[in-house]
Amino acid sequence: MGRGLAGLGLVAALLAVPGMAQAQIVAPAGRTLFNRTVMIRSFVRIDNFAEGIPGLRVRTIVNPYAVVWGAYPNLSLTFVAPLVTLQSQDGNDPTRDFTTTSFADGAIFARYDLLRKNVPGGFTRLAPEVGIKVPSGGAFGTGSTDWIGNLVFSHVRDPHWLIADTQLTYTTTGDDGLRLGNRWNYDVAYLYRLLPRGGMDVPFVLLVLELNGEHVRRARLNGAKLAASGGNLVFISPGVEFQPTNRLLLEFSSPIPVGRDLNGQHLRPTSSYIVGVRWLF
């Protein structure tokens, strides 16, 4: 399948997904705790799009691989490489069905803890983060270099956890003259430690309820605005995290769209699932 059709299909889909794979690593994953020097995280996110364009059904499977390195006590670096599969089914013309897999653009982030306060049974953290998305040259790369700023706040008083973050992405124009719209992502998560009772020892289980949102400006092609691009999305995301050992954490979440104010004739998300693993060493 040529890059043009696959790329446009992915752009249409990703414009309706709350945050790129990089954002999912550093924003909702901002609640990750680790006290060793390196963490590896990967997850599979499946987004289904079955509304907005009659006859067209699209599924994106995003599988990012991230390495987080605790370079200094208050500084961590994150390297992200997302693998993306795009499946498109055209009910009006089955000959146009296709499946394409390729790496999307990677990213590098630096995060610094401005505030670190520890108390018995909890802690408080405030950390700004800056990042850059770099072109990968893959079928799903935008060809642009984008700049990302993020702020993460964490407040834990066991068994209650509150995580909030906001992220701004400033995009640039890619090689094909396409510039995706600047975007603002936000995420507020409440976590409740269900098990064990009366302590934070492993194994433990956290119940998670998140509010995720995104506002995206319209994309531009050769300077002209694309009518069917950009908009607002809001998700409620229930989930669970299970840490069986000090080195392993498993997670599941199912974002439910509760607000889909998208511009023009636009693929709309209908269901999403996230299954992930974090390995600390």
Query: Would strands 115-119 and 122-134 be described as parallel, antiparallel, or unpaired?
Result: antiparallel
Domain CATH for 167? 2.40.128.130
Are 142 and 102 a contacting pair, CB within 8 Å?
no
91-129 burial by CB neighbour count: b if 16+ within 10 A, else e? Answer: eeeeeeeeebebbbbbbebebebeeeeeeeebbebebeb
The structure's pTM equals 0.85
* Domains contained in the chain, number: 1
The residue assigned the tokens 């992200």 is 80
Count helices and strands in the chain by DSSP H and E runs = 2, 18
Beta-carbon contacts of residue 92 (< 8 Å; ≥ 6 apart): 54, 55, 56
Question: Tell me, what's the pLDDT at 26?
Answer: 40
Per-residue pLDDT of the chain (281 residues; tens, 9 = 90+): 433 444 444 444 443 343 444 444 444 444 444 445 788 888 888 989 888 888 889 898 988 888 888 888 888 888 888 888 989 898 888 888 999 898 888 889 999 999 999 998 889 999 999 999 988 887 777 888 999 999 999 999 989 999 999 999 999 998 889 898 999 999 999 999 998 876 667 888 999 999 988 899 999 989 999 888 888 999 999 999 998 988 888 989 998 999 989 888 878 889 888 888 888 76
Q: What is the DSSP letter of 57?
A: E
Across the beta sheet with 220-221, the strand order is: 178-179, 220-221, 224-225
Our measurement of the distance from residue 132's CA atom to the centroid of its chain's CA atoms, rounded to an integer in Å, reads 15
Our measurement of the distance from residue 220's CA atom to the centroid of its chain's CA atoms, rounded to an integer in Å, reads 23
The residue assigned the tokens 């390995």 is 279
Residue 247, domain extent:
3-280
Question: Tell me, what's the pLDDT at 145?
Answer: 92
The residue assigned the tokens 């600390």 is 280
